[in-house]
Amino acid sequence: MSNKVIKTVGAIARFRGTGHLLEAATRMQESGYKKYDCHSPFPIHGLDKAMGLKRSSLGWLVGLAAIIGTTGALALQWWTASIDYPLVISGKPLFSYQAFVPVTFAIGVLLSAFTALIGMLAFNGLPRFNHPVFNSDQFKGVSDDLFFISVEVNDPQFDETRTIQFLESIGGTNCELLQENEE
């Protein structure tokens, strides 16, 4: 017990509602904080804009997956049906693209959907077991009726006293440092 070191991993402040959270997020962005996040019980329209978040590049990845999926599926059907094992079915040409459309479409959709799900999880750094914000007791209220902004310690501007002061200056209440025990 005695050789435990308490380490600061971030700071957290509570805000009163969506309006305050949006305002505070804008101030956070203006003041140059990079590693911060807003937490609310429900999605808030315009929060991404207030935080200055860029559009996710996931769309491009999904688009690429769709192209690979459709061309791959079409190529597979073409190769199996007309090169590797040619089989005349109901007198139609070997490469009957009409018949290949449903499978091409389905595999294109399947691969894009998987890419979208797995890519989304990967971009969000999920799955993970725990996050320092859960060390705060008040943070439980985020799934009910409370709004928070958290700042991570690896933000270049992070300073234990100044960050707390700043969070208070933009209207945050119940400001506290997030701490973690380290062996």
Partner 1 sequence: MKFDSQTYLLTDKGRFGNITLVMGIIGLMLSIAAWLIDSEQFYHSYLTSFVFWITIALGGLFFVMLHHLVNANWSVVIRRFGESLMMTIPFMAILFIPIIFGIRELFDWSDAELVASDHLLQGKAGYLNIPFFIIRTLIYFIIWTGLALTLNRLSMKQNISANFEQIKKMRIISALGMILFGFTLTFASFDWLMSLDAHWYSTIFGVYIFSGSFLAMLSLTTFIIIRLQNYGVLTEAITKEHYHDLGKLIFAFIIFWGYMAFSQYFLIWYGNIPEETIWFLHRWEGSWKIVSLIIVFGHFVIPFFVLFPQGAKRNKIVMTIMTLWILLMHWVDIYWLVMPSLHPHEIHPTWINPAAFFGIGGIFLYIFWRFFTRHPLVPINDPNLKKSIDFIS
Beta carbon nearer to partner 1, 52 or 173: 52
DSSP E strand boundaries for the chain: 5-15, 36-39, 147-152, 173-182
Note whether 90 binds partner 1 by CB under 8 A.
yes
The one segment of 11-19, 74-82, 96-104, 153-161 that binds partner 1 by CB under 8 A: 96-104
The amino acid at 143: S
Which parts of 103-162 interact with partner 1 (CB under 8 A)?
Answer: none
Note whether 101 binds partner 1 by CB under 8 A.
yes
Backbone angles phi and psi of 27, in degrees to 5: -65, -40
Note whether 98 binds partner 1 by CB under 8 A.
yes
Contacts of 181 (CB under 8 A, 6+ apart): 4, 5, 6, 7
CB of residue 138 to partner 1, shortest distance in Å: 29
> Taking CB under 8 A as the rule, which mask of x and - marks residues 12-51 in contact with partner 1?
---------------------------------xx-----
d(CA 118, CA 125): 11
Note whether 99 binds partner 1 by CB under 8 A.
yes
Q: Which two tokens stand for residue 1?
A: 């017990």
Note whether 54 binds partner 1 by CB under 8 A.
no
- Per the CB < 8 A criterion, the answer to whether 163 and 157 are in contact is yes
Interaction site with partner 1 (CB under 8 A) = 45-46, 90-92, 98-99, 101-102
